[in-house]
Amino acid sequence: MVKNGLPLCPCGSGKLYEECCYKKKGADGEPLFYKGAMTSNDGGHTWHPIPNVRFAAIVGGQAIDKHREYAKDLVAKSTLPERFHEKFMNSYGLFYQSFEQLLKACQTPSGKGVSFQMDTIDVRKCWKEYLLHGRILLDFIGLHSRTTLGLNQDIGGLNEKKFALLLTTLQKLGARDKKFLDIEAELEPLGDDIVAFIRFRDKEKLPQDTIVDFPVIDSEYGLVKDGKVSVNGNTFDMIEFIKKSHESIHKLTLLLLGISH
């Protein structure tokens, strides 16, 4: 039997195998049931337990697949050539997963009592992955925007200058086809969030940590509640920035894939 897509322990405890008998050793020193098998009550599939060390990889793989399936539905509605669908699905899936992991890391206080630190190793790791996979996705859709939107020139991977070039190109093409003006009108409000993300991304290429732009908070300087940082009367809502940048990149992706305009 399974729970949330993961196998229950063959001993019948009702717990996940990874949380139950895998921690127990047999007389031979091997995990109990490691080579055993279990058949579900309905006579369905047979399951062979796997080492605990792979547990996180399984959960992560399921998350990627969930977002990849969503990306598959998106790209099926797009004007992107089919030979690029697989690469888009993987890029989008990893970006979406990195967003969820970063959000979770930021919303999990570290420290004790009312003393928190937003700047933690876990947040730094998730932040770098979010920027990395966002960069890959922005570069991908920028490179393919000429084909998907029917532009008259290549835009290239999206950086701050290329985003401005995209808007200018759409404005010029709008003189003969209103659809380009419609796309430009939908893209323009996303500009602040996209450019802010790109600037963080570009700083990451330099020998410094972009996360230093977000204050380190502890009981001596300020408090963190629901992701809102308050220091000396000033606030920066890191979680709001992450959510807005993700939402804007998502909308940008739809527009540049020819899905929504």
**Range ranked top by mean pLDDT from 38-42, 77-81, 123-127:** 77-81
Residue 243 has pLDDT above 50, yes or no: yes
The pLDDT tens digits for 148-201 are 999 999 999 999 999 999 999 999 999 999 999 999 999 999 999 999 899 888
Q: Give whole-number Cα distances, 11 to 44, 46, 53, in Å.
A: 18, 15, 20
Domain residue spans of the chain: 1-50, 60-256
- The average pLDDT across 32-57 equals 45
pTM for this entry: 0.68
Is the alpha carbon torsion for 173, 178, 184, 187 positive or negative? Answer: negative
- The average pLDDT across 95-102 equals 92
Percent of residues, the chain, with pLDDT higher than 70: 62
Dist CA 225 CA 194 (whole Å): 26
Amino acid, single-letter form, for residue 44: G
